[in-house]
């Protein structure tokens, strides 16, 4: 699990809050990630998917203007090119019912905001290694 190199992974962050996006990107870069792409809407994310050879990991905010993360995961799972990608809800919605809804919607994992900088890289590696993670704290 910890041997997984983030340098080799393609990661797409879908987040409408610029500060959250930049913080997430910085944490990923500190862990060695190089192929990080950011989008602020579902439509922008799906347009980006068309330009990339693959996506290993999506980090989705749940509550964005327009289409939510719940809408976007349906589009990801319906797209043969990325339907097997790992999809993580990265959100401040940490109530039990929220997490259960994320599981039912098909998310592979959940990481609560604010993320813990000392744990985030390990959490991302764990998820990319195939483990499910439902960590609200």
Helix 42-51 with 69-78: angle, nearest 10 deg: 30
Q: Is 76 helix (H, G, I), strand (E, B) or coil?
A: helix
pLDDT in tens, 80-98: 999 999 999 998 877 788 8
pLDDT in tens, 52-73: 999 999 999 998 888 999 999 9
Task: Specify which residues 111 forms β-bridges with.
Answer: 90, 135
Helix 96-105 with 69-78: angle, nearest 10 deg: 20
Specify the CATH architecture of the domain 6-135.
Answer: 3-Layer(aba) Sandwich (3.40)
Q: How many residues does the chain have?
A: 137
């Amino acid at each position: 699990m910890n041997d997984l190199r983030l340098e080799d992974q393609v990661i797409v962050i879908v987040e409408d809050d610029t500060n959250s996006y930049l913080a997430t990107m910085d944490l990923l870069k500190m862990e060695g990630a190089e192929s990080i792409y950011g989008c602020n809407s579902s439509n922008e994310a799906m347009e980006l998917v068309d330009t990339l050879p693959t996506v290993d990991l999506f980090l989705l905010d749940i509550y964005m203007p327009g289409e939510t993360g719940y809408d976007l995961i349906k589009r990801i799972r319906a797209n043969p090119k990325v339907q097997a990608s790992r999809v993580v809800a990265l959100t401040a919605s940490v109530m039990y019912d929220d997490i259960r809804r994320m599981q039912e919607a098909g998310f592979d994992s959940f990481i609560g905001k604010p993320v813990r900088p000392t744990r985030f890289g390990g959490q991302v590696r764990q998820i990319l290694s195939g483990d499910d993670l439902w960590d609200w704290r």
